[in-house]
Structure 1
Amino acid sequence: MVDEAGARRRLDPAHWDFFAGGAGDERTLGANVEAFGRRRIVPRVLRGTGERDLRTGLLGCELTMPVLIAPTAFHRLAHPDGEVATARAAAAAGTVLVVSMAATQPVGEIATTGALLWFQLYPQPDREFTTTVVRRAEAAGCRALVVTVDSPVFGRRERDLRNGFLDLPSGLACENMRDADGRIRDIVMDEGLSWDSIAWLRSRTHLPIVLKGVLHPADARLAVEHGVDALIVSNHGGRQLDGAIASLDALPAVVEAVGGRLPVLLDGGVRRGTDVLVALALGATAVLVGRPVIWGLTTGGADGVRSVLEGLRTELDRALALAGAARPTELGADLVAVPRG
């Protein structure tokens, strides 16, 4: 479905390593995919499901399927049309693109595609500048803020260090990091990020706040108490803390802790429509997909991204039928098993 090998052939080796790699020994990177490989679907039969309905509502957005595009940086390294191409594909597929704070095109330009956009944010120690970025996302019509909370410091990505990949090539920049004078600022991780930071952000925006990077059920309960609007169970695609639990393995405990009080999404390791089904059965409202979208963008621009999304849609639709369900909300944990041995 995804031409990963073709993307690797097209990309500069250092850029391939940036997109494909993870932190440290990349144990968590591999664990995300392996966690899906350990699960088996236990389908129901004779359910008379008829035509399936994949539509999903999230934070006031109506999606045609429970698959969103995860925030990933530097799309213009993959294709000259960059995030605009990705957004065109999201609009055509009827789903959400979460625009990265480290996008190589400004969120206002990305918004001209008409795509449903959420905006991913690293709260900066400079709160005034953070407010400027938030206002920019609001002005572009973004429908939610996705706050990455698993990154008080950068993970150690050894492939990037070996390649000396520390800056974007000439002509590219993190366009959403421009200050009021038009100068590009560096993204600074906030080592003091806390629940007080989330409360401060709530006081500065009317947008729903989604926390990305929650793995521990205690943090999920705290998120509910602090009035967060949704969670993304995520280990940053294995790019931050190597050795962290796989997102899928963390999902059930987070879902239980939340107790249906807010939506729980998942990213990390989703490669097939059957992976989407497993995540939904274990309690996710939807999933986000990152690297496969980059591979599609690299090989085919907007058409390549749309091909990835439509492939996931088709596979999920077929998997629902074969599992005996007409819609994602009919899936339950009883449909997923982990064989012994």
Structure 2
Amino acid sequence: MPLTPKSPGPEASWSAYANEIYAAGLLRGDVPRLPTDLTRLEELFSRRLPAGPVGYVAGGAGDASTARANREALDRWRIVPRMLRDVAERDLSAELFGVRLPAPLALAPVGVQSVVHPDAEPASARAAAALGVPFTTSSASSTPMEEIAKAAGDAERWFQLYWPKDREVAVSFLQRARASGHSALIVTLDTAMLGWRPRDLDQACLPFLHGVGTANYFTDPAFRAGLAKPVAEDPVAAVQHFLGMFADPSRTWDDLGFLREHWDGPILLKGIQHPDDARRAADAGMDGVVVSNHGGRQVAGAIGAAAALPGVVSAVGDRLTVLFDSGVRSGADMAKVIALGARGVLLGRPYVYGLALDGQAGVDHVVRCLLAEFELTLALSGHRAPADLTPDSLVRAD
């Protein structure tokens, strides 16, 4: 029979998940419903879902060379285990933006989750909340942010903004996000327009054209004020209005004051890869940056995110909170990123694969596998806490 384990409280040892799996096999003959090697999830996802959703989630820009570069950049770093250190007790907890979390992990903003599972973002938010891991609501979610917040309950949650051209819609989004309990704002800078994505183009698949991923817009009073007719009466016009304002490639650093004017919590800029951009974020009074290339979905031939991370940390690690996403597929990857100076990791595609394959339970499984492996990697390399990891914990393979 398949294993559907109960989630632990945030205070539990994450590595106990391995014992739970073995015990279920011994006592009941159960095995996990999904692989524990998270690198296998994409293959399963690709076999079980239609080509459109598969390409939209798993695809990359151009020839997907940047997605490959993300993996290559992580693989270049190798962990150097140290022996005879007392690691009997471990503590994965970390503080981000004044909140103590059970681990330096959050679920990344991923929009349009209804294309992979009907329970969509609320299922992911519930799984994250049960584990104490922050969930990041995407502007392009399939579900209005207020419903996602309701699913998350009192758990920590963040909001990601695709900065629209329409100032009033932007203000409304920020007000709604704050009112629905989102504590931090992540502003995605690398998607001022969609990149060249052959897997989507070959299927002529863009969910937004069908009104999917537009829930926050279609429920927004400022957005609806710009429509001649209600969304239900003319959905085509609503989609066109959305497409006309989705992002603004004319934005510059001078515009960041608008965000601070309308958001009183932490602000992070996502998509930072150059140290000079990180310095400009710090000079502009931002609270953090996310080193990310959008999982390789925007610019083909670009630098791997892990290759960009050390330079950003060196430039602003003492001034800003540096988070990381793009390419993390294992607890070992997470250990490397933390050792390179990131304060936390945003996990993207793997949890979406888990959602697609097994709903909320799939998200739960993915997060628990990642953190169990992270804890074991930490301990077996001679460390008791994420803060113990430093660049000296790694060597470059090349």
Determine whether 1:96 maps to 2:134.
yes
Deviation track 1:46-101 (CA, whole Å, cap 9, x = no partner) reads: 22122110111111232211121111111111111000000011001111111111
CA–CA distance in structure 2, aligned partners of residues 300 and 169 of structure 1: 27
Give 1:222 shift. 1.1
Partner of 1:160: 200
CA–CA distance in structure 2, aligned partners of residues 18 and 173 of structure 1: 12
Partner of 1:118: 158
Partner SS for 1:112: helix
TM-score (norm 1): 0.96
Q: Is the 8 A contact 1:90 1:116 kept in 2?
A: no
Letter in 2 for 1:141: G
Determine whether 1:298 maps to 2:356.
yes
Question: 2:167 pairs with 112, 117, 127, which one?
Answer: 127
Cα distance change, pair 203–282 in 1 and its aligned pair in 2 (3 A): same
CA–CA distance in structure 1, aligned partners of residues 315 and 208 of structure 2: 40
Cα distance change, pair 171–25 in 1 and its aligned pair in 2 (3 A): closer
Question: 1:197 pairs with 230, 244, 255, which one?
Answer: 255
Deviation track 1:279-318 (CA, whole Å, cap 9, x = no partner) reads: 0000000111111011100111110001000001100110
Q: Is the 8 A contact 1:252 1:282 kept in 2?
A: yes
Query: Where does 1:164-179 land on structure 2 (aligned, <5 Å)?
Result: 164-168=204-208, 172-178=212-218, 179=220
Partner of 2:96: 58
Cα distance change, pair 241–171 in 1 and its aligned pair in 2 (3 A): closer
Determine whether 1:105 maps to 2:146.
no
Cα distance change, pair 259–122 in 1 and its aligned pair in 2 (3 A): same
Q: Is the 8 A contact 2:317 2:341 kept in 1?
A: no
Partner SS for 2:109: coil
Question: 1:270 pairs with 328, 338, 347, which one?
Answer: 328
Q: Is the 8 A contact 2:186 2:267 kept in 1?
A: yes
CA–CA distance in structure 2, aligned partners of residues 80 and 169 of structure 1: 18
Partner of 1:206: 264
Deviation track 1:209-256 (CA, whole Å, cap 9, x = no partner) reads: 110000000011111111101110000110111111111000000000
Determine whether 1:279 maps to 2:317.
no
Q: Is the 8 A contact 1:154 1:189 kept in 2?
A: no
Give 1:168 shift. 4.6
Letter in 1 for 2:337: A
CA–CA distance in structure 2, aligned partners of residues 89 and 127 of structure 1: 33
Partner SS for 2:121: helix
Q: Is the 8 A contact 1:117 1:141 kept in 2?
A: yes
Letter in 2 for 1:167: P
Partner of 1:326: 384
Q: Which has the larger radius of gyration?
A: 2
Partner of 1:260: 318
Query: Where does 1:141-156 land on structure 2 (aligned, <5 Å)?
Result: 141-156=181-196
Deviation track 1:99-152 (CA, whole Å, cap 9, x = no partner) reads: 111100011001112232111101111111110111111111001110011122
Give 1:259 shift. 3.6
Cα distance change, pair 135–310 in 1 and its aligned pair in 2 (3 A): same
Letter in 2 for 1:123: W
Letter in 2 for 1:157: R
Letter in 1 for 2:321: P
Q: Which moved more, 1:125-134 or 1:57-66?
A: 57-66
TM-score (norm 2): 0.83
Q: Which moved more, 1:148-157 or 1:242-251?
A: 148-157
Q: Is the 8 A contact 2:111 2:213 kept in 1?
A: no
Partner of 2:67: 29
Partner of 2:119: 81
Determine whether 1:217 maps to 2:275.
yes
CA–CA distance in structure 2, aligned partners of residues 303 and 242 of structure 1: 34
Extract structure 1 runs of 4+ deviating beyond 6 A: none
- Count how many residue pairs are aligned between Structure 1 and Structure 2: 340
Letter in 2 for 1:208: P
Gaps of 5+ in 1: none
Q: Is the 8 A contact 1:150 1:236 kept in 2?
A: yes
Letter in 1 for 2:47: R
Give 1:171 shift. 7.2
Question: 2:296 pairs with 216, 227, 238, which one?
Answer: 238
Give 1:10 shift. 2.4
